[in-house]
Amino acid sequence: MNTAHEHWGSRLGFILATAGSAVGLGNIWKFPYITGENGGAAFIIIYLGIVFTIGLSAMLAEITIGRIAQTDAIHAFRKIGKPGWSFVGVMGVITAVIILSFYSVVAGWCIAYVVKSAGGAFSGMDAEAIAGAFGTFVSSPLSPIVYHGIFAALTMAVVVAGVGGGIEKTSKVLMPLLFVMLIALAVRSVTLPGASKGLEFFLAPDFSAISAGTVMAALGQAFFSLSLGSAALLTYGSYVDKKTNLGKSVVQITFLDTLVAILAGLAILPAVFAFGMDPAAGPGLTFVTLPTVFNAMPGGYLFAIVFFVLLTIAALTSSISLLETVVSFFNNIGLSRRNATVGSGLLVFLLGIPSSLSVGIWSDIHFIKGQGFLDSASWMTDKLLLPVGGLLICVFTGWIIAPVAAKEVLGDGEPGILTRAWFIILRFVAPVAILLIILSGLEIIKF
Ligand code: PFF
């Protein structure tokens, strides 16, 4: 039943759990290929600029709303005295359900790749054969759904154990493990003969590669990577005690998320260059290019397993934040945590099935812009729901509850230059920038 609102056991637990939400497929799967497609180092500089201004400010806003309210995303706005804004929470929870449904399908592919790599399924294959094997696997009707089910069950197993006993404990074990594995992979990659071309691509900026499209890609990626706009951060913020310094915590979380993205780029791109593969291979970079690279690399068998375990861990600490966002609401309307977790977990599992089939036997069924179910769900959250959610969070904090938000962040301290900068970003910079992402994502304006 609806018991007292739970809390993190420690500040470290909060930081690692929230960094766990942020660090995910977005950092390790998407960031390297988006960097590859957008010209390398110049993209990274723009990305960093956006993350540490707009991204950080929006994250602080969302977590602050959660801590003020001390309840789930849907009840939060009523509790703050602005019930008219509750639709933002409703939209956030719906967004979390949609993201989780396809996220779990892709995470299922990662588990399958752990099994396949360990069983030597790709050994001796060239890029073309691996592309074929990937295509056969994802388009088969049953086995990707089984792996999606396994991943959804893992997510439920963590969430059912609660905030402190499940999410926090798991993050405290998995996040340090993730770092160690990623550093090992990055060291392996940058020490390969021929890695220097990849390092140069990654670290030496070519500003002629930058266009307005690059900036939009960086903004969209920043949102997804920082878990902004889907109420997951609001929910995690509601478990933070009143003593925790929110500003400092958000800087640390943003730093960790960015560090992992950069390390993932260092683990992947130099190796891709070393073996003469294409850095702009798009989403296939992880599932086709990398297994080819591992085949050619000394010690590749082991590094392949480590990489796909790492990817699965990163996905899991993100998916638990999405499921918790939904569970926290159902828990507050009277369902036990167990029933709320099983119910929302099953919903997400069922919604993921059409996503999985849309890459195979249902590939002829199109929804948005001629895309299948999975791509449509991803398009809708990336281009619309997350940015709109983020925009509303910034406007709400910057314009509607500014004095309360300032007090929540500052305590008894006096507002200084950083607080003023925060509000300028929330009121003006972020709304304009996010509106541009939405309009360009919907192709209403073209750059
Ligand atoms: N930040 C996660 C990633 O980079 O993979 C994805 C994500 C998790 C988005 C949680 C939104 C969210 F609420």
Atom of ligand 1 nearest to the CA of 95: 13
- Residue whose C-alpha is closest to residue 102's, from 285, 333, 353: 353
Predicted confidence (pLDDT) at residue 251 exceeds the cutoff of 90: yes
Segment 58-107, tens digit of pLDDT: 999 999 999 999 999 999 999 999 999 999 999 999 999 999 999 999 99
pLDDT at 397: 98
Helix 143-160 and helix 86-118: axis angle, to 10°? 120
pTM equals: 0.96
Per-residue confidence band for 39, with pLDDT thresholds at 50, 70 and 90: confident
Higher pLDDT, 442 or 198: 198
3-state secondary structure of 191: coil
Mutating to test ligand 1, I would choose from 227, 310, 322 the residue with most ligand atoms within 8 A of its C-beta, which is: 227
Query: How many residues belong to the chain?
Result: 447
Per-residue confidence band for 140, with pLDDT thresholds at 50, 70 and 90: very high
pLDDT at 98: 97
Predicted confidence (pLDDT) at residue 230 exceeds the cutoff of 80: yes
State the distance from the centre of ligand 1 to the C-alpha of 245, rounded, in angstroms. Answer: 23
- Cα atoms in the Cβ-side hemisphere of radius 13 Å centred on 10: 7
- Residue 262 and residue 221: Cα distance in Å, rounded? 13
Predicted confidence (pLDDT) at residue 283 exceeds the cutoff of 80: no
pLDDT at 395: 98
Question: Cβ distance 103 to 318 under 8 Å?
Answer: yes
- Residue whose C-alpha is closest to residue 63's, from 264, 245, 271: 245
Atom of ligand 1 nearest to the CA of 29: 5
- Lowest model confidence (mean pLDDT) among 21-30, 33-42, 238-247: 33-42
State the distance from the centre of ligand 1 to the C-alpha of 286, rounded, in angstroms. Answer: 18
pLDDT at 220: 86
pLDDT at 3: 56
Mutating to test ligand 1, I would choose from 21, 91, 221, 233 the residue with most ligand atoms within 8 A of its C-beta, which is: 21
How much of the chain exceeds pLDDT 90, in percent?
Answer: 85
- Lowest model confidence (mean pLDDT) among 253-257, 351-355, 381-385: 381-385
Atom of ligand 1 nearest to the CA of 22: 1
Q: Which residues line ligand 1 (CB under 6 A)?
A: 21-22, 24-27, 96, 99, 224-225, 227, 230, 232, 318, 321-322
Atom of ligand 1 nearest to the CA of 321: 10
How much of the chain exceeds pLDDT 70, in percent?
Answer: 99
Question: In terms of C-beta density within 10 A (0-12 exposed, 13-18 middle, 19 or more buried), how is residue 400 classed?
Answer: middle
Predicted confidence (pLDDT) at residue 243 exceeds the cutoff of 80: yes
H helices then E strands: how many in the chain? 23, 0
- Residue 190 and residue 202: Cα distance in Å, rounded? 11
State the distance from the centre of ligand 1 to the C-alpha of 120, rounded, in angstroms. Answer: 31
Report residue 172 as tokens.
């405290």
| Amino acid identity, position 330 | F
Predicted confidence (pLDDT) at residue 22 exceeds the cutoff of 80: yes
State the distance from the centre of ligand 1 to the C-alpha of 124, rounded, in angstroms. Answer: 35
pLDDT at 423: 98
- Residue whose C-alpha is closest to residue 41's, from 279, 260, 230: 279
Report residue 183 as tokens.
């550093």
Residue nearest to atom 10 of ligand 1 (CA): 227
State the distance from the centre of ligand 1 to the C-alpha of 22, rounded, in angstroms. Answer: 5
Helix 300-332 and helix 169-190: axis angle, to 10°? 150
Average pLDDT over residues 420-432: 97
Higher pLDDT, 1 or 413: 413
Matching residue, tokens 């878990």: 227
pLDDT at 1: 41
State the distance from the centre of ligand 1 to the C-alpha of 82, rounded, in angstroms. Answer: 27
Segment 169-184, tens digit of pLDDT: 999 999 999 999 999 9
State the distance from the centre of ligand 1 to the C-alpha of 197, rounded, in angstroms. Answer: 31
